[in-house]
């Protein structure tokens, strides 16, 4: 089986983890600080505040922006539910703006109708490693007092022609399968000194100095063990992303002229980091997406569906007073057509050949 993800820990990671173990100091310390400076460098921001996971980094960012009950947030319906859960966790109301069908990210032309007088945040999701069109989103927001919070969980090192992922206000995840992984982990990136200060206090029970509580906080801290895993990977980020990109380019070239199979396009001037390599299997294919999964699995090709439904399309959200649903047909269509294939850096040439041959034969029937 060629798995959809492979997690390998290198010698340098082991060395740094052992350093932490030998230091006797396992909680947040110097390793976290070093990891934060690498994350800030990646996003091109002055600050990165590391936290225990990507969901909490969204929560912390929303709390730092003082988003709460009565405030609304607009996000993409085609995302991992953490984007929605974080907003509900702080008591905000969630609305959705449909996705742009080529790139699977929030469609700026659908945004205005989801914005109301209560909207405080727009949260685009940089899905699969390709950024949302932040310039177009900013233009739609105009001079309204609405903040952009980028859910960049899947977009380590991604960029548009004009911005890096996380450069406005970013939330990253370092969950086990992400391009950079600390097992569990997250970080908020920002240029705003006050916001960074509030985030650091929120993460540490509202303390600036020991036992001096300046706000109501919580424990969102990352440990040095997590950071020790992340540092060497962060130092190799360009290399890791380049390997993913090379694999993706090879797949896209091979899939260029197959009826019913649409490889993921890259927007002009964008840097896609291929957290997932996601094709559409649609009209013209000999099989449905779900039949393709069955047949590819039989042929030993690991594949995944991210995501099987629009985020609102579950009873727990449909019946939630904090979720306001307008149907999003493009998200619903993507949920039936999107199929992610292995693109991770450990694929060999023969793995890629096998993926290409299997996918083409399944889609052609």
Ligand X SMILES: Cc1ncc(COP(=O)(O)O)c(C=O)c1O
**Between residues 278 and 358, which has the closer beta carbon with respect to ligand X?**
278
Task: State the DSSP code for 263.
Answer: P
The distance of closest approach from Cβ of residue 259 to ligand X in the complex, given in angstroms and rounded to an integer, is 31
**Between residues 47 and 178, which has the closer beta carbon with respect to ligand X?**
178
Q: Would you count residue 173 as binding ligand X (CB under 6 A)?
A: yes
- Containing 170, the helix (H) or strand (E) segment is strand 169-173
- Containing 66, the helix (H) or strand (E) segment is none
Q: Report yes or no: 35 and 172 within 8 Å, Cβ to Cβ.
A: no
Contacting residue, 77, 186, 304, 342, with ligand X by CB under 6 A = 186
**Token pair belonging to 86:** 């974080």
Contacting residue, 13, 72, 107, 151, with ligand X by CB under 6 A = 151
**Between residues 54 and 77, which has the closer beta carbon with respect to ligand X?**
54
Binding mask 295-334 for ligand X (x = CB under 6 A): ----------------------------------------
Instruction: Give the SS3 label for residue 338.
Output: strand
Q: Report yes or no: 258 and 358 within 8 Å, Cβ to Cβ.
A: no
Q: Report yes or no: 266 and 242 within 8 Å, Cβ to Cβ.
A: no
- Closest to 279 measured CA to CA, from 341, 352, 355: 341
Task: State the DSSP code for 348.
Answer: -
Binding mask 63-102 for ligand X (x = CB under 6 A): ----------------xx-xx-------------------
**Between residues 56 and 261, which has the closer beta carbon with respect to ligand X?**
56
Partners of 322 in the beta sheet?
none
Contacting residue, 104, 175, 312, 317, with ligand X by CB under 6 A = 175
Q: Tell me the window of 147-155, 187-195, 224-232, 293-301 that interacts with ligand X (CB under 6 A).
A: 147-155
**Between residues 125 and 146, which has the closer beta carbon with respect to ligand X?**
125
User: Closest CB to ligand X belongs to which residue?
Assistant: 54
Binding mask 47-66 for ligand X (x = CB under 6 A): ------xxx-----------
**DSSP string across 127-148:** GGG----HHHHHHHHTTSS-EE
The distance of closest approach from Cβ of residue 142 to ligand X in the complex, given in angstroms and rounded to an integer, is 26
Number of shown-chain residues binding ligand X (CB under 6 A): 14
Instruction: Give the SS3 label for residue 340.
Output: strand
CA distance 126 to 147: 16
Residues with Cβ within 8 Å of residue 48, at least 6 apart in sequence: 36, 37, 39, 40, 187, 188, 189
Q: Report yes or no: 52 and 187 within 8 Å, Cβ to Cβ.
A: no
**Between residues 230 and 260, which has the closer beta carbon with respect to ligand X?**
230
Contacting residue, 87, 94, 153, 310, with ligand X by CB under 6 A = 153
The distance of closest approach from Cβ of residue 166 to ligand X in the complex, given in angstroms and rounded to an integer, is 13
Place of tokens 């990977």: 233
Instruction: Give the SS3 label for residue 273.
Output: coil
Which stretches of the chain bind ligand X, using CB under 6 A? 53-55, 79-80, 82-83, 125, 151, 153-154, 173, 175, 186
């Amino acid at each position: 089986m060629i798995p959809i993800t492979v997690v390998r820990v290198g010698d340098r990671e082991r060395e740094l983890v052992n350093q932490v173990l030998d230091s006797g100091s396992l909680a947040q310390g110097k390793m976290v600080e070093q990891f934060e400076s690498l994350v800030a460098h990646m996003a091109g921001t002055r600050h990165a505040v590391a936290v225990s996971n990507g969901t909490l980094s969204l929560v912390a960012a929303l709390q730092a922006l003082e988003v709460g009950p009565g405030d609304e947030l607009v996000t993409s319906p085609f995302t991992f539910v953490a984007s929605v859960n974080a907003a509900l966790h702080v008591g905000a109301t969630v609305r959705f703006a449909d996705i742009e069908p080529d790139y699977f990210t929030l469609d700026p032309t659908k945004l205005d109708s989801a914005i109301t007088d209560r909207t405080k945040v727009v949260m685009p999701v940089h899905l699969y490693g390709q950024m949302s069109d932040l310039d177009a989103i900013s233009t739609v927001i105009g001079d309204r007092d609405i903040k952009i919070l980028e859910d960049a969980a899947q977009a380590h090192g991604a960029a548009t022609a004009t911005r890096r992922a996380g450069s406005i206000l970013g939330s990253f995840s370092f969950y086990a399968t992400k391009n950079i992984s600390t097992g569990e982990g997250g970080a908020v990136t920002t240029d705003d000194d006050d916001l960074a200060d509030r985030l650091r206090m929120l993460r540490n029970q509202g303390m600036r100095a020991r036992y001096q509580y300046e706000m109501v906080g919580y424990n969102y801290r990352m440990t040095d063990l997590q950071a020790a895993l992340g540092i060497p990977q962060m130092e190799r980020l360009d290399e890791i992303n380049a390997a993913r990109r090379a694999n993706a380019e090879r797949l896209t070239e091979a899939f260029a002229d197959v009826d019913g199979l649409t490889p993921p396009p890259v927007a002009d001037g964008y840097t896609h980091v291929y957290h997932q390599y996601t094709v559409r299997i649609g009209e013209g294919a000999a099989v449905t997406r779900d039949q393709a999964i069955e047949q590819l699995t039989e042929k030993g090709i690991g594949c995944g569906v991210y995501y099987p439904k629009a985020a609102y399309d579950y009873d727990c959200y449909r019946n939630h007073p904090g979720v306001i649903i307008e149907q999003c047909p493009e998200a619903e269509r993507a949920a039936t057509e999107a199929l992610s294939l292995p693109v991770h850096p450990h694929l060999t040439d023969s793995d890629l050949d096998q993926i290409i041959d299997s996918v083409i034969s399944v889609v052609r029937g």
